[in-house]
Amino acid sequence: MVVVELITGRTLDQGATVEEKLSDEYFNAVNYIELSEEDFKQLALKEGDRVKVVTDFGEVVVFAKKSELPKGIAFIPMGPYANAVIDPATDGTGMPQFKGIKARVERTEERVKTIKELLEAI
Amino acid sequence: MQDIICTFCGSVCDDGEYDLEKRKVKKFCKLGSSKFAEKERIKAPMIDGKEVSYEEAIEKAVEILVNAKKPLLYGWASTANEAIRVGVILAEKLGGVYDQCASVCHAPGTLAMIEEGLPGATLGSVKNRADVVIFWGSNPMEAHPRHGTRYSISAKGLLVKDRKQRKIIVVDVRPTKTAKIADMFVQIKPGYDYAIISALRAIISGNADVVPNEVGGVPKEKLVELAEIMKKAKYGAIFYGLGVTQSRGRDRNIENAIKLVQLLNRTTRWVIWPMRGHYNVVGAGEVPAWEVGYQYAIDFSRGYARFSPAEFSAVEVLLRKDCDAALIVASDPVAHFPKMAVKHLKQIPVIQIDPFPNMTTLIAKVVIPSAVYGIEAEGTVYRMDCVPLRVKKILETNYWTDEKILEEILKRVEKLRG
Amino acid sequence: MLWIKNGIVVDPKNKINAEKMDIFVKNGKIVAESDVKKEDCKIIDASGKLVVAGGVDMHAHIAGSKINTGRTMRPEEMRVVRNIAGKFRATLGRVLLTAPAIGYEYAKMGYTTSFEAAQPPIGALHTHEELDSIPMIDKGALPVFGNWHLVFKCIEEKNLEKLKALVAWAIERTKGFGVKVVNPGGVEAWMYGGNVKSLDDQVPGFNVTPREIITWLIRANEELGLPHSVHLHCNNLGVPGNYQTTIESIKLANGFRNPKRQVLHVTHVQFNAYAGSSWRDAASGAAEIAKVVNSMDNVTIDMGAAIFGHATAMTGDAPFQFSLHKLIGARWSNKDTEVETGAGIVPIGYLPSNPVHSLQWAIGLELGLLVDSNKVVLTTDYPNGGPFTEYPYVMAMLMSKKMREGELKKVHQYVQKTTTLPSIDTEKTLYEVIHMTRSLPAKVLGLENKGHLGVGADADIAIYNLNPLETDFSNEFEKVYKSFKTAEYTIKGGEIITKNGELVKEVFGKTFWVDARKKVDLEVIMPDIKEYFNYYSVQLGNYGVEERWLKNPSRLEVV
């Protein structure tokens, strides 16, 4: 288990499929978390493995990817998987906190839900 | 066809070429090309998943909206001004809430502007004059791919002729694709933008002695180096993105950055501007500002506009369950809102107007497909720097425009409400 | 058809001075009695009431990017609710107003035409979108030329034909009405952090001076024969001592002649009429300026009067706006605009207890009183000097020394020694004040069918509950003020739109624009334009506004 600071945001692939949200391409563009090489190693992950991301606001199972990130920082593309775990509180601004959420990440054998399954669970 | 205008991101590139035979667009980036590519459409208007006529869907939508005590009208960033204007008037007529995508994106910049003003420029000014460009919490290589070549990095300007004459600096929490092509990358700890900006202000105003050895993960020497570059710039530009608006501090981060720019303007020239995400999110804020007084988070339940981001932004309204119907136009809150806000959307009747099926379609009671602005419909949009452009109609379609659908809804609502 | 019966008409253009007469309207125009069928007329009984043309505001900031930035920056301005949604639109605004509010408030006051004073060319479509959202009034916009690189290049080359072609091209592309010049050269200097201080400073990067910019544009404007003259916001605005720059600029009109109108209109002169060397010893230069204007017959000005209360400084004079921000520590917005112009917005206010604000207030009135009434238009440079809804305050003050004496007691005594206002006995007549708010601005703009009630004029009419034959304008100033604040009837294009300050009908007016393309050969300038578009951020093919995008365009062709 590692503790990370979670950032969520745009990627080219997510943007290129943003008008096809019910497609496989979109699913693949938003269903993962990027972890630093050290965190990836610490969790003994291989490409294609799944992890459970848990925050004070929810949990979600996503695929794990290794990426050039500083240790302790993780990134999930914006979308329904990210929004399952970020902080909805807006501090009076109307803007939830999409970036900078403390999260616990651990390996899991659970499946990654499809977009529709994710929605049904809300 | 020449001079095609892209309707994806806030760069609104207008130098595209459309091949009518191949039905493909040339010169645009991956995002723009995807916009013009053929993809699955909502085939016909639907009520509860059953195909109906436009008129029937509109009647049902009107019924839902008129019977609601407080409908939420949200979205607006990916449609043209003509449609947005009707939407604003409709929200006023219904006594509902108008909110637009900026509330989960760049609205903190508006709050900062209210506190300090916004010392800015159009993109052409940056192209021609900026010898130092800072991308702060912004990753254009992934979110605005041609921004650099057209305006801010390698653009050939009047006084700044090419990439070599510009210094590009990236401030971010991780080495993004943009950081890779920058001359200087300043990696910071998440949530420390405010502190770092304060440190820069202190150094530039001659008070470097109050700055500790390290701020937000950045060594003081690096901050001093950055401050020097900023002071020596002839014309600098800070482009900021969601890295600052969505992190701890939100609007206060931008407020502080604006104060930094105010300070710099006393000895040289600097401008600051948000990297708006959608091709007409600016319009989604400018239109209600001139029509009813504010850019977002607007409540009309008293018969006039009231502005309160804490109460009337879509996420807040949904978290408090303070709306009993929703009209979603050109947006996908089910995909992009926090889970807790989506929960309430699932409980209330939702009307969606959009060309493409998305996650909101999955929960919408009434779905009304519309034409795509910039491809199937003509309209006015505002680029990220508020420069107006008229997007073109290239292809014929039987889909109604957002403008037409909303006008039909408004007509019927006016008849019922008087 | 409309028959306004027994009103007391004041129509300076047609030399009618408080005569009892009937006015007839048909198809939106004023017609002769013989052209209507009296039985079919709707009758308005205007017995004992003043009947004048609808007011014409020839310089106000009502539409476009900087106005909307002002609104966005100042939600505190929007907390005044003027109208609740119902039959008409909800409207909000204290001094800054929403677009529907602008239309409704002008209409309630009896004004029926207003022109946006400064339109950034690349943002023209935004200006028009906002103009199209303003109900009730007819409108137009003035694109800015004084800091446009393309203008500089034509003047560098000393090529008048190119400049004429550029002006004609630009006004068509922006669907604008005339040539506005704001701090010529100074806004380009601001791109380097500076400003220009005299008419002969060199503009950085170009071989031109403000003097050349102004005179060449006057030459081009006059040879093109545009309806309106060059409309100038002088250099050194807001700087103590600037009245000399203003006088020098006014004198640039020497040698030019136009039988129909002025060849130079200098705007909001109050802000450019300061004597002294700093804010410590600032004083009024209004008397000196008035002397010069009165001695010339080809220059007009407008007041730019300051009204105590809230205001917002918003102009294309970007360097001035930054200095204002530094001076008063207020919030500041700025918009450098490609190779064309700039803008700045700063919230301000005018307090009677403040010596400088009182000085500004006094200077505006001095100008209105000292300058001949056929050369000075009444404005507040809305929202820079104050709300347009307070024009009646200025009108009443111009006509009553007693009112001015009362006001002078409430303001800072600094004005006693630094202005001539306390010693001015002039009380302008109603005829003059109507001229300054109707027939003169229409003449200055070159709008032949506005500002008067002669046959052929647009049927834009205001009826006030004021009998000019029985009112003592010197003493009954409260009544005068109140009467002009709220028209008894406002008629637009022959339709009653307001009655006693209540909205009756919402109409949308025309947007006037000028087409002078037939007077030039555009090919003379197109190669330069195409070349210079390398330095724009949009394609030439996407630049400009097509007429069909406007709600109700009205093209004035220049032949």
Q: Render pLDDT for C87-100 as a digit per residue (tens, 0 to 9).
A: 999 999 999 999 99
**Residues in chain A with pLDDT < 70?**
none
Polymer length of chain C = 559
CA torsion angle for C542, C547, C553, C558 (degrees, to 10)? 100
Q: How far, CA to CA in Å, does B182 sit from each of A69, B135, B154?
A: 17, 9, 11
B39 to chain A, any CB pair closer than 8 A? The answer is yes
Residues C250-267: pLDDT tens digits? Answer: 999 999 999 999 999 999
Which of C188, C320, C338 should one mutate to test binding to chain B, selecting the residue with the greatest count of B CBs within 10 A?
A: C338
Q: Which residue has the tokens 């005299």?
A: C198
Enumerate residues 6+ apart whose C-beta is below 8 A from B92: B98, B291, B292, B300, B305, C85, C89, C90
pLDDT of B201 over the 90 cut: yes
Residues B92-145: pLDDT tens digits? Answer: 999 999 999 999 999 999 999 999 999 999 999 999 999 999 999 999 999 999
- The identity of residue C175, as a single letter, is K
Residues C302-322: pLDDT tens digits? Answer: 999 999 999 999 999 999 999
B124 to chain A, any CB pair closer than 8 A? The answer is no
d(C-alpha C437, C-alpha C30), whole Å: 19
3-state secondary structure of B243: helix
* Residue among C81, C335, C539 whose CB faces B121 most closely: C335
- From chain B residues 343-372, the ones with a CB under 8 A of any chain C CB are none
ipTM: 0.97
Which of A4, A18, A59 should one mutate to test binding to chain B, selecting the residue with the greatest count of B CBs within 10 A?
A: A18
The total of structural domains in chain C comes to: 1
Q: Which residues of B touch C74 (CB under 8 A)?
A: 114
d(C-alpha C448, C-alpha C247), whole Å: 29
* Residues C335, B120: C-beta atoms closer than 8 Å: yes
Is there a domain that residue C534 lies in? no
pLDDT level of residue B23 (50, 70, 90 thresholds) = confident
B269 backbone dihedrals φ, ψ, rounded to 5°? -115, 130
d(C-alpha B261, C-alpha B257), whole Å: 6
Q: Which residue of B has its CA nearest to C75?
A: B294
Domains for chain B: give ranges and CATH numbers.
Answer: 40-105+279-374+397-417 (3.40.50.740), 107-274 (3.40.228.10)
B309 to chain A, any CB pair closer than 8 A? The answer is yes
Residues B145-168: pLDDT tens digits? Answer: 999 999 999 999 999 999 999 999
d(C-alpha B163, C-alpha B161), whole Å: 7
Q: For a pLDDT cut of 90, what percent of chain B falls above it?
A: 98
Is there a domain that residue C313 lies in? yes
Is there a domain that residue C533 lies in? no
CATH node for A2-120: 2.40.40.20
Cβ distance B121 to B301 under 8 Å? no
* Residues A9, B139: C-beta atoms closer than 8 Å: yes
Enumerate residues 6+ apart whose C-beta is below 8 A from A117: none
pLDDT of B261 reads: 98
Q: Which residue has the tokens 């003097």?
A: C211
* Residues A19, B34: C-beta atoms closer than 8 Å: yes
Distance (Å) from the C-alpha of residue B375 to the closest C-alpha of chain A? 14
Average pLDDT over residues B40-58: 97
Q: Which residues of C touch B113 (CB under 8 A)?
A: 72-73, 333
Cβ distance C506 to C497 under 8 Å? yes
Average pLDDT, chain B: 97
> C and B: touch, per 3+ CB pairs < 8 A?
yes
- From chain B residues 351-410, the ones with a CB under 8 A of any chain A CB are 355-359, 361-363
pLDDT of B418 over the 80 cut: no
pLDDT of C428 over the 90 cut: yes
Residues B240-256: pLDDT tens digits? Answer: 999 999 989 999 999 99
B114 to chain C, any CB pair closer than 8 A? The answer is yes
Q: For a pLDDT cut of 70, what percent of chain C falls above it?
A: 100
Nearest Cα residue to B344 out of B313, B312, B317: B317
Distance (Å) from the C-alpha of residue C301 to the closest C-alpha of chain B? 30
Average pLDDT over residues B264-275: 98
* Conformation bin of residue C204: beta by default, left when phi > 0, alpha when psi is -120 to 50: beta
* Residues C338, B388: C-beta atoms closer than 8 Å: no
Is there a domain that residue C173 lies in? yes
Please, which chains are in contact with C (at least 3 CB pairs closer than 8 A)? B
- The Cβ of residue C339 has, within 10 Å, a number of other Cβ atoms equal to 27
Torsion sign over Cα C191, C192, C197, C200:
negative
Q: Which CATH number does the domain housing residue C361 bear?
A: 3.20.20
Which of A5, A7, A69, A93 should one mutate to test binding to chain B, selecting the residue with the greatest count of B CBs within 10 A?
A: A93
- From chain A residues 6-45, the ones with a CB under 8 A of any chain B CB are 7, 9-12, 15-23
d(C-alpha C191, C-alpha C206), whole Å: 13
d(C-alpha C49, C-alpha C62), whole Å: 30
pLDDT of B119 reads: 98
Is there a domain that residue C551 lies in? no
A84 to chain B, any CB pair closer than 8 A? The answer is yes
3-state secondary structure of A9: strand
pLDDT of A26 reads: 95
pLDDT level of residue B417 (50, 70, 90 thresholds) = confident
